[in-house]
Amino acid sequence: MNKRIVIAVDGPAGSGKSSVCKRVAADLGLQYIDSGAIYRAITWFFMDKYGDPDKVENPVLSLRDVTFSQVFDSSGKSRTFVNDKDVSLLIREESVAKNISIFSENSEVRDFVNAMLRSWASKESIIMDGRDIGTVVFPDADLKIYLDASVDVRTERRVKEYSDLGKNVDENYIRNQIIQRDDKDKSRQLAPLVKAWDAVYIDTSQLSFEEVVEKIKELIKRL
């Protein structure tokens, strides 16, 4: 691919965004950026530092001296670092997801994250996933995709992700967490999760992982 391209992928928890994007990026030689991992890393940082993240008064001020980075390797693995610490697994804890809205609903935190994401994306062709990538971060993206799936399918996928990590989780608890986080993400004032008018909608409930990957690669090849 000669020109620099930006692909924005949004959708609710468990819709398959990150695994699909990683594979597409590895296959097509794109850089993958996981925006949700940055909101998770910020939440983890404050939980680790203060215990109770509700008590953080001016998060952006505290974040000024912290370095966030992400490394995507050609085998399709994405790792997230806070300063020099690899937090990739720590940020996947359900307790982090539970507290994330404290920071993802803060406009200064969002501005801080958006500036970081745009600067990371400025040099090469990228695929980035999140909640507001096609609407706020890159409204001029070359291709926008909205990945969706039923709550049941998304719950199943999340439970499997945890069990692949050796964790036994209660399915009902995960389903409720997903429903609650979707509600918060969709109804918040700031950068809510919504399909951009020009995004391609893909319901992945009945599709295999490979089928979704192929669909997206086809759309990219047409650019």
CB of 36 to ligand CDP, least distance (A): 2
Name the residue nearer to ligand CDP (CB basis): 1 or 186: 186
CB of 124 to ligand CDP, least distance (A): 19
Name the residue nearer to ligand CDP (CB basis): 1 or 167: 167
Reported in sequence order, the residue ranges of the chain that DSSP labels E, i.e. its strands, are 6-10, 31-34, 68-72, 78-82, 85-86, 126-130, 143-148, 200-203
Name the residue nearer to ligand CDP (CB basis): 35 or 155: 35
Q: Dihedral through CA 72, CA 73, CA 75, CA 81, nearest 10? A: -60
CB of 220 to ligand CDP, least distance (A): 20
Name the residue nearer to ligand CDP (CB basis): 22 or 131: 131
Name the residue nearer to ligand CDP (CB basis): 129 or 207: 129
CB of 113 to ligand CDP, least distance (A): 7
CA distance between the termini of the chain: 10
- In angstroms, rounded to a whole number, what is the distance separating the alpha carbons of residues 140 and 102? 28
- In angstroms, rounded to a whole number, what is the distance separating the alpha carbons of residues 111 and 60? 9
> Minimal CA–CA distance to 74: which of 33, 31, 117, 16?
31
Name the residue nearer to ligand CDP (CB basis): 59 or 130: 130
CB-nearest residue to ligand CDP: 36
> Minimal CA–CA distance to 7: which of 146, 136, 128, 137?
128
For the CA atoms of the chain, what is the radius of gyration? 17
CB of 74 to ligand CDP, least distance (A): 22
CB of 9 to ligand CDP, least distance (A): 10
* C-beta separation of 35 from 75 below 8 A: no
* C-beta separation of 130 from 10 below 8 A: yes
State the DSSP code for 97. Answer: H
Point out which residues bind ligand CDP (CB under 6 A).
13, 35-37, 39-40, 100-101, 104, 130-133, 181, 185
